[in-house]
Chain A
Amino acid sequence: MRISCPYCGTRDVAEFTYQGDATITRPDPASTDQNTWNAFVYDRANPAGKHSELWQHSGGCRTHLVVERDTVTHVITSVAFAGAKRKPVSAAAPKRKAPARKAATRGKAPS
């Protein structure tokens, strides 16, 4: 896989570190609501298809990137700096109500 870093250009995936789901938003630090924090730390959808991911160009400029990637075909449709503007979760992205069940029904078990 190759990722087009907006700063460094297109590089091999070996230069990047996967840093998790880019659709999550860190709760208000002052919040003590356990459900909110629990969702932030643990709840993840496991979509077979379009996904928004965080990758750090750790073997390059070290910035974090939001990579829109299809987890089935590995086709990357966009790459942008993370943080510059936190993108709101796109409408197509699944709302995370029952992620565990969703993951179980959507994908086949990895073999």
Chain B
Amino acid sequence: MVERESPLGPAYRPGRHGNVAEAAGVTLSETRPGSIVEVVSWPGSEKAALAAIKSATGLALPNMPGAGVSKKDKAGYGFAPRRWLIIDGREGVEQQLQKAVSDKIGAVNDLSHGRTAIRVSGPRAEWVLSKLFAVDFSAEAFPVSNGCSTAHHEIFAQIQRTGKNQFDLIVFCSFARAFWTTLCHSAEEVGYEVS
């Protein structure tokens, strides 16, 4: 297989940046999952779609707005009515989902190349993300495993909380470098580590 190139290019600079007086407030990374797949169901087929997702990926997603599951190497969540995003470390999950989700249930779109996954973790993750998105990132409003769709100006983003202080962001890859640059800029205040 040909290795996928990151859209971040020279903007991705591993190491400590910004305020280095104290421990890094956040760690930023590109997680490069093997698969990012969107599943859509037709009205009334939500349960069948969720069952298909479970059979194909093992992820048992609750049928509630924004609800999701976050495991070590895979995750999924609803981000719009009758739409779910599946992120998996393995490549080729799209084919498994394609098999499981028939035309009668809904449709599957492979976005593995078209989206970039960025992880923001660390004690100041909520603070840094709050600079960019008008979403309440507090744990009460945004519990672990939940996801949402939002936007930073022109840049559409899907965000899942994958840990107490950890968020995984999915952005369009054409915007990934611009977003990453803005994210780094916003993290300078608290100091950040790119890993």
Q: Which residues of A contact B (CB under 8 A)?
A: 6-9, 11-12, 14-15, 58-63, 81
Interface pair B65/A59, CB less than 8 Å apart: no
Q: Classify the interface of chain A: helix, strand, loop or mixed.
A: loop
B194 to chain A, nearest CB (A): 27
The interface size of chain B toward A, counting residues with CB under 8 Å, comes to 13
Residues on the B chain within 8 Å of A12, using CB = 134
Known contacts A59-B151, A62-B80; decide if A8 and B134 are in contact (CB<8 Å): no
Residues of B within 8 A of A59 (CB): 149-151, 156
Residues of B within 8 A of A62 (CB): 80, 149
Interface of B, secondary structure class, is strand
Residue B167 is within 8 A (CB to CB) of chain A in the complex: no
For the complex, what is the distance from the CA of A9 to the CA of B148, rounded to whole Å? Answer: 10
Look across to chain B and name the residue whose beta carbon is closest to the beta carbon of A12.
B134
Q: Contact between B66 and A8 (Cβ–Cβ < 8 Å)? A: yes
| A11 partner residues in chain B, CB cutoff 8 A | 134-135, 150
Query: Is the CB–CB distance between A61 and B149 below 8 Å?
Result: yes
* CB <8 Å contact, B81 and A63: yes
- Contact A60–B149 (Cβ < 8 Å): yes
In the complex, which residue of chain B has the Cβ closest to the Cβ of A10? B136
B156 touches A81 (CB 8 A): no
Q: Assess the A60–B151 pair: CB atoms within 8 A.
A: yes
Instruction: Give every chain B residue within 8 A of A8 (Cβ-Cβ).
Output: 65-66, 148-150
Tell me the complex Cα distance, A59–B151, Å. 5
Tell me if A81 and B81 are in contact (CB < 8 A). yes
Chain A residue, CB-CB nearest to B136: A9
Q: Does B79 sit at the interface, judged by CB under 8 A?
A: yes
Give the complex CA separation of A62 and B79 in angstroms. 10
Q: Decide: A60 and B150 in contact? CB cutoff 8 A.
A: yes
| Contact with A15, one of B66, B79, B83, B151 (Cβ below 8 angstroms) | B151
- Chain A residues positioned under 8 Å from B81 (CB to CB): 7, 61, 63, 81
Q: Which of B81, B83, B134 has the most CB atoms of chain A within a 10 A radius of its CB?
A: B81
- On whether the beta carbons of A7 and B80 are closer than 8 Å, the reply is yes
Give the top 10 A-B pairs by smallest Cβ distance, nearest first: A59-B151, A61-B80, A60-B149, A12-B134, A7-B65, A7-B81, A61-B149, A63-B81, A15-B151, A60-B150
A sample of 24 inter-chain contacts (CB < 8 A) reads A7-B66, A7-B80, A8-B66, A8-B148, A8-B149, A8-B150, A9-B65, A11-B134, A11-B135, A11-B150, A14-B134, A15-B134, A15-B151, A59-B150, A59-B156, A60-B80, A60-B151, A61-B79, A61-B80, A61-B81, A61-B83, A62-B80, A63-B80, A81-B81
